[in-house]
């Protein structure tokens, strides 16, 4: 699909979608989201990045919202910093472990 076709689809989505409506992409865990207008800026499209777990469900209720290339690059640089990885490992060691319990379901 050409860049022009993609831009046409995105332009149509920006104009016709409801606030916070999501559009699926061919990239697993990535959606285009219409962010509502504010008093100082118009409505915008952002990418919501929310990787899927092995069971196919998103890792978080809300993903990481990225609205431009600069933001994307800064997030990438920060997430790839070895010190961030080290901090995550330290957090995992300090935080109490969560038990994976089977949720109880009412039988009727």
Global pTM reads 0.79
Question: Mean of the pLDDT values across residues 43-52?
Answer: 97
pLDDT score of 98 more than 90: no
Give the DSSP H or E segment for 5. helix 3-16
Q: Is 105 part of any domain?
A: no
pLDDT band at 2 (very low <50, low <70, confident <90, very high): confident
Number of compact structural domains in the chain? 1
pLDDT of 101 reads 66
pLDDT on residue 105: 72
pLDDT score of 11: 96
- Domain coverage including residue 35: 3-94
**Quick check: is 101 in a domain?**
no
Max Cα separation, the chain? 54
In a domain, 107, yes or no: no
């Amino acid at each position: 699909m050409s860049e022009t076709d993609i831009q046409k689809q995105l332009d149509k989505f920006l104009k016709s979608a409801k606030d916070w409506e999501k559009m699926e992409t061919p990239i697993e865990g990535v959606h285009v989201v219409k962010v509502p207008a504010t008093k100082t800026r118009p409505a915008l499209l952002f990418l919501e990045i929310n990787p899927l777990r092995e069971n196919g469900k998103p890792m978080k209720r809300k993903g990481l919202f990225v609205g431009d290339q600069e933001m994307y690059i800064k997030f990438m640089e920060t997430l790839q910093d070895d010190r961030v990885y080290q901090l995550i490992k330290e957090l995992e060691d300090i935080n109490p472990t969560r038990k994976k319990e089977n949720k109880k379901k009412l039988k009727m």
